[in-house]
Amino acid sequence: MEKLFPFIEYRGRKLFVEDVDVQAIAKRIGTPVYVYSKAAFSYWFNEFDSAFNDVEHLTAFAVKSCSNIAILRLLAEMGAGADTVSAGEIFRAINAGIAPEKIVFAGVGKRKDEMEYALSHGILMFNVESRQELETLNKVAEKLRKRARIAIRVNPDVDPKTHPYISTGLRTSKFGIDYDEAFDVYMKAKEMEWVEPIGIHFHIGSQILDVSPFEEASAKVADLVKALRDKGLDIEYFDAGGGLGINYHPEENPPSSSSLAERIVPFVKELDCKLILEPGRRISGNSGFLLTEVLYIKRKEGKIFYIVDAAMNDCMRPSLYDAYHHIVPAEKKENIEIVDVVGPVCETGDILAKERELGKCEQGDILAVLSAGAYGFSMSSNYNSRVRPAEILVSGSKFEVIRERETFGSLIEGEKIV
């Protein structure tokens, strides 16, 4: 037995997820296919959530990382709330059975109709990202005669030391309200009739592997909470966002959730706030992977390409961020060769892995693109008119389809020849 990630391991020469041979999934469902493990979700949710047991808290799963309603239902049953960034995500969360009072709503560009949707469903709070948004929300809430509970998303100006495309807590980023301005915006909110400031929010970035920026941000934001309370504002919720990183290679060790908790919890205890956390990747990333078939092998002078049936439209992170995904064969191979794993899409950037040591494959072999549970299917598109993959949930020795593979019909749904 060789363990790659919790519940994902080789038994003999064969790759298993829980008690299922992944080749059985490829055979029955076809490829490409996203595979999630119920036990892994449970493991990662508990690893995270239990780290914060010292304080009253809500783990609001970041829906954008993995949005399937079967997954959201699983997490709801474990006690999760939802961190959402659109009305569509609120719709998913509610559909999956997540209680509205466990839903928070962030995003720099909320439309009025999205505000109305969220208000009418009675979500916990809006994480407001600009002065104009605050004013608009006040008007929308007045129209509906429903007070909007809010937190201001504060940009604490700390460097999370991650990929620039996924850092969000620096002054130069489009997210949140500058730290120095936030106090003033809270004072405005206090005067407004239809918004009720109940919390404070920050989210400094994604795939963060050094937990010290969380302490820096928490300290700054905690100071702000004290200043606001001095002015009579009842800040009840301290929302520390998401962003804790994972290992994309089985042999790396990411920080534990407890080490994150150590950086945040002391501030929350001192303030006697309720803590909200918004992990996405940390829970879903290593709870899923993508299976793909090797369609063709091209061996050229000094270069080998494995052309597989999954592409950048199915799994975008390598093309978008030059991200690393560990790739392993469904059945172990004798020899190693150095290959590029590429998809069929007509773009040079359609690469899943570059110059990677991989067991020597043959046409028809199945590969697993690991750590694809987060920002995998949820970022997929129909580019090149490719139908999006099926999604499968494994539990023990069983697996079920939680999203059918799209059909040609779904490709042209809503289109009209005029």
Q: What residues numbered 296-355 form the site for ligand PLP, per CB under 6 A? A: none
Q: How far is the CB of 167 from ligand PLP (least distance, A)?
A: 11
Q: C-beta of 376: minimal distance to ligand PLP in Å? A: 12
Is residue 71 a contact partner of residue 377, using CB atoms and an 8 Å limit?
Answer: no
66 is catalytic: no
Strands 327-329 and 351-359, bridge-based pairing: unpaired
- Check binding of 242 to ligand PLP (CB under 6 A): yes
Residue 77 contacts by C-beta under 8 Å, 6 or more apart in sequence? none
34 belongs to an annotated ligand binding site: no
Q: What CA–CA distance (Å, rounded) separates 324 from 236?
A: 39
Residue 244, Cβ density class (10 Å: 0-12 exposed, 13-18 middle, ≥19 buried): buried
Query: What span, in angstroms and rounded, lies between the C-alpha atoms of 5 and 97?
Result: 29
Determine which residue in the list 83, 129, 157, 314 makes contact with ligand PLP, applying CB under 6 A.
Answer: 83
Judged by CB under 6 A, the residue of 85, 94, 261, 310 near ligand PLP is 85
The edge-to-edge listing of strands for the beta sheet with 20-21 is 2-5, 8-11, 14-17, 20-21
Q: Which long-range contacts (CB under 8 A, 24 or more apart) does 129-136 make?
A: 129/153, 129/175, 129/176, 129/177, 130/177, 131/177, 131/185, 131/188, 133/108, 134/185, 134/188, 134/189, 134/192, 134/195, 135/192, 136/112
Residue 114 binds to ligand PLP (criterion: CB under 6 A) = no
396 marked as binding residue: no
Pairing of β 398-403 and β 327-329: unpaired
Residue, CB closest to ligand PLP: 280
Please state whether 45 falls in left (phi above 0), alpha (psi between -120 and 50) or beta: alpha
Taking the C-alpha atoms of residue 165 and residue 249, their distance in angstroms, rounded to an integer, is: 21
Q: Binding string, 25-44, against ligand PLP, x = CB under 6 A?
A: --------------------
Cα–Cα distance between 221 and 215 in angstroms, integer? 10
The stretch among 20-28, 132-140, 182-190, 239-247 that binds ligand PLP (CB under 6 A) is 239-247
> Candidates 9-17, 27-35, 61-69, 221-229 — which segment interacts with ligand PLP by CB under 6 A?
61-69
Q: Does 271 bind ligand PLP (CB under 6 A)?
A: no
Cβ-based nearer residue to ligand PLP, 31 or 65: 65
String of contacts with ligand PLP for each residue 88-107, x by CB under 6 A: ------------------x-
Quickly tell me which residue has 């779904």 as its tokens: 410
Is 318 annotated as ligand-binding? no
Q: Which stretch binds ligand PLP (CB under 6 A): 25-33, 224-232, 277-285, 396-404?
A: 277-285
- Cβ neighbors of 103 (< 8 A, separation 6 or more) are 60, 81, 82, 84, 90, 93, 94, 118, 121, 123, 124
Window of 11-19, 73-81, 143-151, 273-281 that interacts with ligand PLP by CB under 6 A: 273-281
The answer to whether 280 contacts ligand PLP (rule: CB under 6 A) is: yes
Q: Which is nearer to ligand PLP, 278 or 314 (CB)?
A: 278
8 Å CB contact between 282 and 246 = yes
Give the binding-site size for ligand PLP (rule: CB under 6 A).
17
Q: Which residues share a beta bridge with 103?
A: 82
Instruction: Kindly calculate the radius of gyration of the chain based on its CA atoms and give it in whole angstroms.
Output: 22
Task: Pick the piece of the chain touching ligand PLP (CB under 6 A) from 48-56, 60-68, 112-120, 351-359.
Answer: 60-68
Our finding on whether 62 is near ligand PLP (CB under 6 A) is yes
Question: Does 213 engage in binding with ligand PLP (CB under 6 A)?
Answer: no
Of 66, 273, 315, 346, catalytic:
346
> Under the criterion CB under 6 A, does residue 278 sit at the interface with ligand PLP?
yes
Tokens of 234: 């009842």
Regarding 388 and contact with ligand PLP (CB under 6 A), the answer is no
Please tell me whether 237 is known to bind a ligand: no
Known binding residues for substrate: 281, 317, 321, 347, 375
| Residues making contact with ligand PLP (CB under 6 A) | 62, 64-65, 83, 85, 106, 203, 206, 241-243, 278-282, 374
Q: Which residues are catalytic?
A: 346
